[in-house]
Amino acid sequence: MGHVLRAFVVTRARPQASGLAATLTELGAIVTEAPAIAIHPVEVSLPDLASYDLVCLTSVNGVDRLFELVRDARALAGPVVAAIGPGTAERLRAKGVVADVVPPRAVGEGLLEAVAGLDVGRALILRAREGRDVLPEGLRERGVEVDLVTLYETRAEPLDADTRAAVLDADWITFTAGSAVRSLVAAVGGADALRGGPRLASIGPVTSAALRDLGLEPDLEAAEHTPDGLVAALLG
């Protein structure tokens, strides 16, 4: 792993943190798991999915939550199914659904571009409470009737003193979501605590933007916006 001796892994849910941590550990890294956020499901009554021309899934966590509610891949048999990126598409595939649209850039702008040529009257966007508005606003500007359904929310989790010390002593901190950036920075006492310390690795442009919003510049951004892409970037 070259100079990557210790990676502090932050993701949107502890099971995902464990998967990334296991990969890095197998490659010889010393890993501290420190998820600064936790995923909390939101109680919701799903509309009839078949009544939409397009259903958009914007995260792996959204896919997991959706299938806690529908439990059957046939619920998505009618509409065009769009996944924001390869990680979300892979999770859909594991549930028995092959996404019809997967943009090359795993951001809202990329998904908006990818569905531009579709004939869409009604669209459903399934997302986190704190999701960005690029996709719904862009679709509405095209005259599409858009419904937003919140499936889950992320909440900040405190770090204990030992974990906080390990974070600040790490060689790299890996970030997989903007919410993790904000929560982690708050948990260590602010952006100043990270300046001149660990290198910062981002999974993609939205996560990098969250770092820059706090005055921090990512040292690395994955070309493929997935955990595997992040590992590949670290190895490179």
What is the model's pLDDT at position 14? 59
Domain carrying residue 132: 40-154
What is the model's pLDDT at position 11? 46
Residue from 141, 146, 118 nearest 131 by CA: 146
Residue 148 sits in the same domain as residue 229: no
Is residue 194 a part of any domain in this protein?
yes
Is residue 1 a part of any domain in this protein?
no
Domain final residue pick, 119, 134, 154 = 154
What is the model's pLDDT at position 28? 83
Domain final residue pick, 109, 124, 154 = 154
The pTM for the full model equals 0.79
Residue 137 sits in the same domain as residue 201: no
Residue 65 sits in the same domain as residue 119: yes
First to last CA, the chain: 9
Residue 137 sits in the same domain as residue 122: yes
Residue 47 sits in the same domain as residue 145: yes
* pLDDT tens, per residue, the chain with 236 residues: 444 446 565 544 555 556 778 888 888 888 888 877 888 999 999 999 999 999 999 998 899 999 999 989 999 999 999 999 888 999 999 999 999 999 987 788 999 999 998 999 999 999 999 888 999 999 999 999 999 999 999 888 888 899 899 899 898 999 988 888 999 999 999 999 999 899 999 998 889 999 999 999 999 999 988 888 898 998 87
Q: What's the total number of domains in the chain?
A: 2
Domain final residue pick, 90, 123, 154 = 154
What does the block give as tokens for 32? Answer: 């501290």
| 89 touches 95 (CB < 8 A) | no
In this structure, what CATH number is given to the domain that contains residue 139?
3.40.50.10090
Residue 150 sits in the same domain as residue 161: no
What is the model's pLDDT at position 107? 83
Q: How far are the Cα atoms of 52, 92, 156, 186 from residue 36, in angstroms, in the given order?
A: 35, 26, 6, 9
Q: For residue 191, what are the contacts with CB-CB under 8 A and spacing of at least 6?
A: 185, 214, 215, 216
What is the model's pLDDT at position 130? 84
Residue 113 sits in the same domain as residue 136: yes
Beta strands in 2-89 (DSSP E): 6-10, 30-33, 37-41, 54-57, 80-83
